[in-house]
Amino acid sequence: MAEATFKLSNDVEIPEMGIGTFQMPVDAAEQAVVDALNSGYCLIDTANAYMNETGVGRGIKRSGVDRADVFLSTKLWPTVYTDDNAVDDTLKRLGTDYVDLMFLHQPAGDFITGYRQLEKAYKEGKVKAIGISNFQGEKLQTLLDNAEIKPQVIQAEAHPYFTEDEVRQTLKPFGTRLMAWYPLGHGDKSLIHEPIFAELGKKYNKSSAQIILRWHTQMGFIVIPGSTNPDHIKDNHNIFDFELTEDEMKQIADIKKNIRYYAPSAEAEEKYTKMELDFKSEK
């Protein structure tokens, strides 16, 4: 079974799985992108705040894979939401004249102005799809009330212990697709070692991590596990030669605990609003 894509609400096709580059230094991100693209990945995710966009851009070029065959997503940081050059500066760091998906990274600062920037870039063809990240509750509703173009993707924490049900229900009328970060529960061994995953792993000759990643795609989630280990990168992507049954998906649903590993706070949002990024250090 070949890797499939999801169709976003604007008919853009997005791969079901990609590699995330969170917490990767520039050179490590570059090599991870090369390894991922050479292992069959088509989706690469980065962000202003990861401080590795230049490395990601170099990795795409080094891989030899045609830019048109790479789905590239990145995120604007709150301190640049009001900077008219934010999108162009991001494209410059990535070494590309467009990105396939651009997010607002946090519901902080002047996010309505930031979203207007994404809508403008979308109309100009610099951004093929619009996303939001970590939005929920009142701020999510405020953004939706003010959005001319509803977000096609939301990036949020999701894994078998936590499936972001409330946010997904709010966004369901707009066909917004969820992209999952912390897809393996932030390395929580209690999640990885749930008996159901060992049982299914034995049946399908897969690791528990591969079972969880396959669960994500069958839930309809885009999933972006991160790794700099070439073997792990290959293994994470090797999930499209089997399919969990409806009964097995229900068994996994039974372990949901509504446990999340990241809880947004007012203090964190204030930090996001003020945290300037030093792109000079990104070489």
Catalytic residues: 50
Q: Is the Cβ–Cβ distance between 115 and 143 less than 8 Å? A: yes
Q: Would the CA dihedral through 235, 240, 243, 249 be positive or negative? A: positive
253, containing H or E segment: helix 246-253
Q: What is the CA radius of gyration of the chain?
A: 18
Q: Is the Cβ–Cβ distance between 131 and 151 less than 8 Å? A: yes
What one-character DSSP code corresponds to residue 8?
P
Any idea what the Cα angle at residue 194 is, between residues 244 and 36, rounded to 5°?
A: 60
What one-character DSSP code corresponds to residue 78?
G
| Nearest CA-CA partner of 249 in 209, 212, 194, 195 | 212
Ranges of beta strands (E only) in the chain are: 5-7, 13-15, 18-20, 43-45, 71-76, 101-104, 130-133, 153-157, 177-181, 222-223
Beta-sheet pairing, 5-7 with 13-15: antiparallel
Q: Would the CA dihedral through 10, 129, 57, 209 be positive or negative? A: negative
> Residue 150: what residue type?
K
Q: Is the Cβ–Cβ distance between 282 and 51 less than 8 Å? A: yes
Q: Is the Cβ–Cβ distance between 146 and 139 less than 8 Å? A: no
